[in-house]
Structure 1
Amino acid sequence: MRMMERPPFKTLFAVPLHCDGCVKNVKNALSQIEGILNVDCHLEQQLVEVEGTTAPSKISASLQAIGKDCILRGSGDTNGAAVCILETHAPNVGNPVRGLARLVQVGPEFTIVDISLKGLAPGTYQASIRQNGDISRGAASTGIVWEEDMKGAEARGRLGQIEVNSEGSGGMILDVSIAIWELIGRSMVLSSSTGSLQQYDEATIVGVIARSAGIWENDKVVCSCSGKTVWEERVEQTGKGML
């Protein structure tokens, strides 16, 4: 599953930028991260374009560390990015969202999988891509691990383990020999349970992998549907548990 050297790619974030001082602070913070090659701040549009080999979650964490909220607006090339919102199907849960997986294709059959988790019970979770995207019965209806039925080859659907700490947070960044188009419509499952997957298992989260915007494919500030700014929507989604 591990790849050779990761090629650089571009990522676009919406970031509140009010003055040249904000631009300087953002550039100073991001310049400290290994793997970042270039940072362009678009003050009028309140957008930050980053080029390098660094996963989106690390860039987000660095911006948040200096008090800047940020929203990922696009990464990679057209048809080269995907996202998966990971939710629990356990009953009587107010906010079901427990994680987010960002996937960026940076070369032929070369994809970065960037998973962030929160609100889970501590422990070791097995991450996998499943054969189908049917989550009508939670993880129980997602089928076998993708490519598990192929003989003579390691199943590319097995992503590995993620450790969730005592605060309920965890994450994993890895490179896989997969193209984005192979994943769209399949599901991703993370589970700390042993044995077969169950629909209402509190130790299991699941989501469907869907295409997301490439670089500069989504630079809107106001949603045409709701009329709300991206920051107003951000507050609503954060309240629902979104990372």
Structure 2
Amino acid sequence: MVGFLRALTAASAVPAAAVAALALASPSSSSSSPTSRLRFPLPASVPSLSTAYAAAAARTPSAVSPMAAAAADISAPDKGTALPELTTEFMVDMKCEGCVTAVKNKLQTLEGIKNIEVDLNNQVVRVLGSLPVKTMLDALHQTGRDARLIGQGNPNDFLVSAAVAEFKGPVIFGVVRLAQVNMELARVEATFSGLSPGKHGWSINEFGDLTRGAESTGKVYNPSDYLSDKPLGDLGTLEAGENGEAQFSASKEKLKVVDLIGRSIAMYATEDRSDSGIAAAVIARSAGVGENYKKLCTCDGVTIWESS
């Protein structure tokens, strides 16, 4: 009788274990489901924008499981790793249909571009794809035409979809671009010069106070609801070559561009950020797709999105 009861218990445990395994293996949601097009009411301040994002996120199914999000950190820059798709706009010097054909033909040689639209009247080229901005800019310049980035993001999806931080010297120069891909993911791209060769820690810090450079920008940005071993603003390591130049492109989970406006990006001399910092720049809202067809900023005459 005892042997019969033991056999019956073991047999009933097998289906339960199988169900548990299937539950762990099943994703929380489909990663292929399209991002909902969300529009938020115009807020009075940036903190209320964060509230709008939180409310929208509560209504929108997450594309990332909570367990994965908690352990998420910025991806290492890797030429073999494709970035998430975004729409990127360039202002390109085009005078005729022959120019349009030349630009399209050149961009179509690049792997990772899904769609190309050209507006000859406004001299705008709109590209949907997963390539870094610099790769596309280099291709456009190879056609012999002046080109510059004027906007990036997902049209109509976000009130604030792009931001930029510019390092203006006198020693370290660079630009960091942040663009919202969806409610759970942002792209980070950076180009620097003037760094000492080797690895440098860098991060998004709490404040945009540059009175003492990076030292006065506060701690690494980390929202209270973000659960991970590393702060959300930890951007990892940036490695500069012998010429002092460094490039970076990766994606960052749970990063919301709207929450970064007015904060700063700080660069450090050491990999572990144990020093007080060597440079910093304030994060400012930048143009999204269709928002910047003017060639010059009306406030100070500086070309918007120019990285050199």
**TM-score, scaled to structure 2:** 0.65
Structure 1 position 31 matched with structure 2 position 105: no
Question: Shift in Å at residue 211 of structure 1?
Answer: 0.8
Q: Give secondary structure in 2 for the equivalent of 1:217.
A: coil
Structure 1 position 83 matched with structure 2 position 160: no
Q: Displaced runs of 4+ in structure 1, greater than 6 A?
A: 148-151
Residues 108, 23 of structure 1: alpha-carbon distance in 2 compared, 3 angstrom cutoff = same
> Equivalent of 1:219, from 263, 285, 293?
293
Q: Give secondary structure in 2 for the equivalent of 1:184.
A: coil
**Alignment map for 1:59-74 (pairs within 5 Å):** 59-74=136-151
| 8 Å contact kept, 2:82–2:130 | no
Question: Shift in Å at residue 151 of structure 1?
Answer: 7.4
Which residue does the alignment assign to 1:111?
A: 186
Aligned residue pairs, count = 223
Separation in 1, partners of 2:228, 2:194: 38
Residues 42, 152 of structure 1: alpha-carbon distance in 2 compared, 3 angstrom cutoff = closer
Deviations 1:104-147 (A, max 9, x none): 10111210000011233322121211121111110010111122
> Equivalent of 2:280, from 206, 217, 224?
206
Structure 1 position 160 matched with structure 2 position 236: yes
Q: Give secondary structure in 1 for the equivalent of 2:195.
A: coil
| 8 Å contact kept, 1:148–1:157 | no
Deviations 1:14-51 (A, max 9, x none): 01012222212211221122221111111121111111
Percent identity for Structure 1 against Structure 2: 33
| 8 Å contact kept, 1:12–1:74 | yes
Unaligned runs of 5+ in 2: 1-72, 76-80
Which residue does the alignment assign to 1:197?
A: 276
Deviations 1:186-210 (A, max 9, x none): 1101222363315xxxxx2210111
Separation in 1, partners of 2:205, 2:98: 46
Separation in 1, partners of 2:82, 2:174: 27
Calculate the aligned-residue CA RMSD, in Å: 2.8
Residues 85, 222 of structure 1: alpha-carbon distance in 2 compared, 3 angstrom cutoff = closer
Residues 104, 66 of structure 1: alpha-carbon distance in 2 compared, 3 angstrom cutoff = same
Q: Give secondary structure in 2 for the equivalent of 1:61.
A: helix
Residues 43, 121 of structure 1: alpha-carbon distance in 2 compared, 3 angstrom cutoff = same
Which residue does the alignment assign to 1:201?
A: none
Question: Shift in Å at residue 81 of structure 1?
Answer: 0.5
More strand by share: 1
Question: Shift in Å at residue 6 of structure 1?
Answer: 5.3
Q: Which has the higher contact order (CA 8 A, sep 6+)?
A: 1
Unaligned runs of 5+ in 1: 199-203
Structure 1 position 188 matched with structure 2 position 271: no
The letter of the residue matching 2:166 is: I
More helix by share: 2
Residues 125, 223 of structure 1: alpha-carbon distance in 2 compared, 3 angstrom cutoff = closer
Question: Shift in Å at residue 165 of structure 1?
Answer: 1.4
| 8 Å contact kept, 1:103–1:112 | yes
Q: Quick check: which has more Rg, 1 or 2?
A: 2
Residues 113, 30 of structure 1: alpha-carbon distance in 2 compared, 3 angstrom cutoff = same
